[in-house]
Amino acid sequence: MLYKRFIKRPMDFCLSLAAIIVLSPLYVVLVLTIKKKLGSPVLFKQKRPGLNEKIFTLYKFRTMTDQRDEKGALLPDDKRLTRFGNFLRSTSLDELPELVNVLKGDMSVIGPRPLLVQYLPLYNEQQKRRHEVRPGLSGLAQINGRNAISWEEKFNLDVAYVDTISFIGDWKIIFLTMKKVFKREGINANDSTTMELFQGTKLTD
């Protein structure tokens, strides 16, 4: 496909570069505020699988403290997620550093979200197809429920995107994502601080 092979990557590069430049004052404010409220390091880094399951380092702004119990173990997520951290998540401001991942070519503006490396052996053959394209800042799953839908629904939407990728489709997702972020819809699953871990899809008769 012409768009997928020759247009999508240059568009990603231009959009991410422009966004980083325009948002640079906001980056400075966020870095200083996060350092003051949550401490250092300001960035959260984690290995994630990308195109063809190639592992890369994902960048986010940190949203949790490093609070530990008397034995030195980290407290549960809901104990470490502050009001400020929750604000960063609900507004998706914590994901702004991923624009650097897009600029580098690890990610795309639109595509299936990059998930944990530990999920790789749990995917069935259909679900593995989500790695046929670069992971994205947003995708079909994010505009159709985000963390409020099941893992299976997410993966079905991811593969549907892979099969129908197009210029018009990407821009439609971009605009709908902006609307979702503005309305803060589908950030968490029910009352959970983060989405429950994927345990694999159960086979049915």
The parent domain of residue 71 ranges over 2-183
pLDDT in tens, 75-128: 887 788 889 999 998 888 999 999 999 999 999 999 999 999 999 999 999 999
Instruction: Quote the CA–CA distance of 151 and 88 in Å, as a whole number.
Output: 23
8 Å CB contact between 192 and 103? no
Q: Which residue has the higher pLDDT, 132 or 201?
A: 132
Q: The tokens of 195 are what? A: 């989405």
Burial class (CB in 10 A: 0-12, 13-18, 19+), 154: buried
The count of domains in the chain is 1
Q: What are phi and psi of 204, to 5 degrees?
A: -120, 155
8 Å CB contact between 22 and 11? no
* Residue 195 falls inside a structural domain: no
Residue 59 has pLDDT above 70, yes or no: yes
pLDDT in tens, 170-200: 999 999 999 888 876 654 433 344 678 898 8
Give the pLDDT of residue 189: 39
* Residue 189 falls inside a structural domain: no
* Residue 198 falls inside a structural domain: no
Q: What are phi and psi of 193, to 5 degrees?
A: -70, -40
* Residue 87 falls inside a structural domain: yes
Give the pLDDT of residue 204: 52
Give the pLDDT of residue 50: 97
* Residue 139 falls inside a structural domain: yes
Mean pLDDT, the chain, rounded, equals: 90
User: What is the full DSSP assignment across 151-173?
Assistant: HHHHHHHHHHHHHH--HHHHHHH
Residue 71 has pLDDT above 90, yes or no: no
8 Å CB contact between 17 and 85? no
Residue 156 has pLDDT above 50, yes or no: yes
* Residue 203 falls inside a structural domain: no
Give the pLDDT of residue 34: 95
Instruction: Quote the CA–CA distance of 165 and 3 in Å, as a whole number.
Output: 8
DSSP-derived letter for residue 66 is -
* Residue 202 falls inside a structural domain: no
Give the pLDDT of residue 191: 39
* Residue 109 falls inside a structural domain: yes
